[in-house]
Structure 1
Amino acid sequence: MTPAPATLWRNREFNLLWVSQSCSDLGTAISGLAVPLLVLALTASPLRAGAVGTVGLVVTVLSRLPAGVLADRFDRRRIMLVCDAIRLVAYLVLGCAVLRGQASLALVVAVVVVASGANAFFGTAEYLSLRTIVAAEQLPAAVARNEARAYGTSLAGPPLGGLLFGLGHAVPFLGDAVTFLASMIGVAMVRRPLQEPRETAPGSHLSALAEGVRFVLGNSFLRTVVLVVAPLNLALHGVIFTVIVTMQAHRVTPAVIGTVETVVGVGGLLGAVLAPALTRRLVLPVLNRAVCWSAAVLMSLSALVTDSVAAAVPVGLAVLLGPATNAALFGHQAAVTPDRLQGRVVSVIIVLATSIAAAAPLLAGLMITTIGPQTAILAFAAMVCCSAVAASVTHSLRV
């Protein structure tokens, strides 16, 4: 295989994939706000908007592990091209249906299911391609650039989605189609193979995955961290969704609604900058407790200004410690996990820690409808309090 270029800036394949994934991430971020706004416009039901969001998150979670298996067995560039083509067609169909006044809830759900699955498969194939196109010593820099890309698109996508939705309900979905077309062109221009020659042993993936699950569940520290972090992820997604739906009900303009996730993204970006210093000064158990207790208090403050962008500020502050906690967690995981299990253990931790968050939109929609938005946010804060108590008293998480 041809050696990778000396610098990432001269690495043609890496830059093509980076730009392609940027387009893909931007399209996903745009639709992430535009879809619930469309469902609300079609049905005027926060519960249905939450249900559609939950469907998308569930499909993404369920697709993660199969996506890894597929990316190990087939050509990764072809996987990405197929995923881009599927998403392009899906959002083009939805945009045209909205434009003609023929959009239905069933069509929106179908597009969300197809696009969410394609997102998971594309992202997995792109991530696994790094090792074949980037020199080993350049991998940390490559991952850092990918993190910057993710933050950038998460900051730009929601307000852009809100702005486009304000111009016309069909505009963000037609815009999504354009982003996936751009991504497809970039992937098609990649020349080098995106995987090393390999032989797959049929039928071995299920047992290999089971080994990773057993390792995580058998390690008391990792098992407890996952149980503590999972409700926190659920609450964060639930509060953000509650704020967005409440602002929509108060007829706040879509462009302003889009800034909610931008504010939260800024908090994550600042947290990423502070993460190295925090991990040097605080051990993981202390970080776990700090992030849980601070999030519980800050989320409660959001209930005071639920119908305003100001509600996103406490949530943004709550995620400040998130990157440092993640860095410490995966640093510990890398130290206690045998090398041959690293990939499976990381995927299992991510799925277990984030899968419960798939229920956040549906749960938030249900609580908004039955007990009101302020009480819903307080209920999510109470969930985080339970995690904080667990992080404080559980023996395996004590310093």
Structure 2
Amino acid sequence: MTAVSQSGSAFRSAFRHRAFALFWTARVCSMLAIQMQVVAVGWQIYDMTSDPLDLGLVGLFQFLPSLALALFAGHVVDSHDRKRILFGALTTECVAVAGLFAATLVGALSPTAIFATVALIGVAKAFEGPANQALLSATVPLEDLPNAVAWQSSGVQVAQISGPALGGLLYIAGPAVVYGVSAAMLLVAVLLILATRPRPVTMVRRSMSWSTLLAGAAFIRSRPEILGAISLDLFAVLLGGATALLPIYARDILHVGPWGLGLLRSAPALGALVMAVAITRWGVRRHAGRWMLIAVAGFGVATILFGLSADPVLSFIALLAVGATDQVSMFVRQTLIQLSTPDDMRGRVGAVASLFIGASNQLGEFESGAAAAAIGAVPAVVAGGVGAVGLAVVWAWRFPALRQIDRLSETK
């Protein structure tokens, strides 16, 4: 991994730019809100139905709109004002979560309503993902971009730590409280984006065609190191992701309740934050590709440990390791994309990357829920961890360009 910076200069180089500071804060607020909402939705729907498949369906209904809209969203982001697109996406999410708040408050929330709402959030996420990735590069000069990537990742991890824990704590007062606070945080994010003044980027209005829609996919395919990094992350999290099953572990295996669920959901983000700070402080100066492959294998081992654990403390530690190893993979992937992608293609490349990320997260939740319904939660998690370890071995052989990446700063 590249040496992001030395000592505290990493913080100064990114946050001296007002546009990045506002963008970063908005990103943290929106992620904080979504993480709180996820805890409430997961516990509430499992409390309604006690069916592991429904936990998976929450992820599926959020992923399907992203799948359907990804290429179109990338084209739109590369042809229109990215700030306005991000503003619209966050506003839609705010309205959706406010709907959950109102429906819960009047006792009208049902599994069907939850599925419909997360599908609407999925529509917004289809545009938010590529808009976020494209707008980030316009908030700092190119020389500060690796620092911005690292600090944005750290901020997201802070939200992913505090969001679930806060959501679990607020759930004690009722799910309506969680949804209300989440909607308020999203509103703050909307206002911050309005105040952000990114560097102007020349937008080229393109007529829509299969060539323009598929340009992002074609670019990624032409860069085997990027394709290898994105696809490895996709399949590893798709197989090894256990977060969708945390309500089952919290209620039926570890017996820790909603507050414990919030802590479990925070654990991967805490591990990721520690790793992100370490990367920002020291970096990994050599053999970035090899470290990514080792990290994915470590992600699988930590997932196996979590799946087999019946002790809350050991489970928490295993999830810390899950997050720390995943952070290495995520940092390598994001930095490769940001440094390699031309400005006029950031939306379309970001859309494809967001689709892969959404598939690994939301579709992974459905896979985990379906597997748990078929063979049980513990076997499903353990099998996924074994699969992630196997993938790291196969990708090391299948994508030598990824394995041979040394310094990220040299990948242009």
- Fold conserved between structures, TM > 0.5: yes
Per the alignment, residue 112 of structure 2 pairs with 106
Letter in 2 for 1:255: W
Per the alignment, residue 293 of structure 1 pairs with 297
Confirm or deny: 8 A CA contact 1:242 1:376 kept in the other structure. no
Per the alignment, residue 131 of structure 2 pairs with 125
Q: Does 1:267 align with 2:264?
A: no
| Cα deviation, residue 337, structure 1 | 7.4
Output one character per residue of 1:178-205: Cα deviation in whole Å (capped at 9) or x when no partner: 1122223333445x4774453402125x
Letter in 2 for 1:30: M
Show the 5 A alignment for 1:21-60. 21-60=27-66
Q: Does 1:282 align with 2:287?
A: yes
Q: 1:370 to 1:307 in 2, by over 3 A?
A: farther
SS across alignment from 1:170: helix
| Cα deviation, residue 354, structure 1 | 5.3
Show the 5 A alignment for 1:69-148. 69-148=75-154
Q: Does 1:185 align with 2:191?
A: yes
Output one character per residue of 1:10-61: Cα deviation in whole Å (capped at 9) or x when no partner: 6554443333332222111111221111111222212112211222134345
Task: Report the Cα distance in structure 1 between the residues aligned to 2:396 and 2:129, rounded to whole angstroms.
Answer: 35
SS across alignment from 1:280: coil
- Runs of at least 5 residues in structure 2 that lack an aligned partner in the other structure: 1-11, 405-412
| Cα deviation, residue 345, structure 1 | 4.8
Confirm or deny: 8 A CA contact 2:372 2:380 kept in the other structure. yes
Q: Does 1:362 align with 2:366?
A: yes
Per the alignment, residue 256 of structure 1 pairs with 260
Task: Report the Cα distance in structure 1 between the residues aligned to 2:257 and 2:138, rounded to whole angstroms.
Answer: 45
Task: Report the Cα distance in structure 2 between the residues aligned to 1:373 and 1:388, rounded to whole angstroms.
Answer: 23
| Cα deviation, residue 143, structure 1 | 3.6
Identical amino acids, percent of aligned pairs:
25
Confirm or deny: 8 A CA contact 2:224 2:399 kept in the other structure. no
| Cα deviation, residue 108, structure 1 | 0.7
Letter in 1 for 2:179: F
SS across alignment from 2:175: coil
SS across alignment from 2:208: coil
Task: Report the Cα distance in structure 1 between the residues aligned to 2:224 and 2:20, rounded to whole angstroms.
Answer: 38
Per the alignment, residue 175 of structure 2 pairs with 169
Per the alignment, residue 151 of structure 1 pairs with 157
Letter in 1 for 2:246: V
| Cα deviation, residue 92, structure 1 | 2.0
Deviates more, 1:381-390 or 1:35-44: 381-390
Task: Report the Cα distance in structure 2 between the residues aligned to 1:267 and 1:358, rounded to whole angstroms.
Answer: 21
Q: 1:366 to 1:91 in 2, by over 3 A?
A: same
Task: Report the Cα distance in structure 1 between the residues aligned to 2:207 and 2:390, rounded to whole angstroms.
Answer: 43
Q: Does 1:18 align with 2:24?
A: yes
Q: Does 1:240 align with 2:243?
A: yes
Q: Does 1:320 align with 2:324?
A: yes
Task: Report the Cα distance in structure 2 between the residues aligned to 1:169 and 1:339, rounded to whole angstroms.
Answer: 42
Q: Does 1:216 align with 2:220?
A: yes
* 2:203 paired residue among 195, 198, 201: 198
Q: Which structure has the larger Rg?
A: 1
Output one character per residue of 1:73-128: Cα deviation in whole Å (capped at 9) or x when no partner: 33344334433332233222221211222111111111111123223423543443
Confirm or deny: 8 A CA contact 1:256 1:309 kept in the other structure. no
Per the alignment, residue 8 of structure 2 pairs with none
Confirm or deny: 8 A CA contact 1:83 1:118 kept in the other structure. yes
Q: 1:394 to 1:247 in 2, by over 3 A?
A: same
| Cα deviation, residue 349, structure 1 | 4.8
TM-score, structure 1 normalization? 0.83
Task: Report the Cα distance in structure 1 between the residues aligned to 2:93 and 2:288, rounded to whole angstroms.
Answer: 42
Confirm or deny: 8 A CA contact 2:60 2:365 kept in the other structure. yes
Task: Report the Cα distance in structure 1 between the residues aligned to 2:84 and 2:70, rounded to whole angstroms.
Answer: 18
Q: Does 1:381 align with 2:385?
A: yes
- Runs of at least 5 residues in structure 1 that lack an aligned partner in the other structure: 1-5
Aligned length: 390
Letter in 1 for 2:206: A
Output one character per residue of 1:211-239: Cα deviation in whole Å (capped at 9) or x when no partner: 442343355555444444332111342x2
Task: Report the Cα distance in structure 1 between the residues aligned to 2:49 and 2:169, rounded to whole angstroms.
Answer: 21
Q: 1:387 to 1:140 in 2, by over 3 A?
A: closer
TM-score, structure 2 normalization? 0.81
Task: Report the Cα distance in structure 2 between the residues aligned to 1:355 and 1:194, rounded to whole angstroms.
Answer: 31
Confirm or deny: 8 A CA contact 1:75 1:194 kept in the other structure. no
| Cα deviation, residue 150, structure 1 | 1.0
Output one character per residue of 1:260-291: Cα deviation in whole Å (capped at 9) or x when no partner: 1221112212222344757324351x324422
Q: 1:328 to 1:144 in 2, by over 3 A?
A: closer
Q: 1:87 to 1:344 in 2, by over 3 A?
A: closer
Which structure has more relative contact order (CA 8 Å, sep 6+)? It is 2
Task: Report the Cα distance in structure 2 between the residues aligned to 1:96 and 1:337, rounded to whole angstroms.
Answer: 42
Q: 1:340 to 1:120 in 2, by over 3 A?
A: closer
Letter in 2 for 1:151: Q
Deviates more, 1:375-384 or 1:341-350: 341-350
SS across alignment from 1:66: helix
| Cα deviation, residue 153, structure 1 | 0.8
Task: Report the Cα distance in structure 2 between the residues aligned to 1:70 and 1:228, rounded to whole angstroms.
Answer: 27
Task: Report the Cα distance in structure 1 between the residues aligned to 2:293 and 2:198, rounded to whole angstroms.
Answer: 44
Output one character per residue of 1:323-379: Cα deviation in whole Å (capped at 9) or x when no partner: 334444566678887887676556535534652443222222223233222211121
Letter in 1 for 2:88: V
Deviates more, 1:349-358 or 1:109-118: 349-358
Q: 1:393 to 1:147 in 2, by over 3 A?
A: closer
* 2:235 paired residue among 216, 231, 236: 231
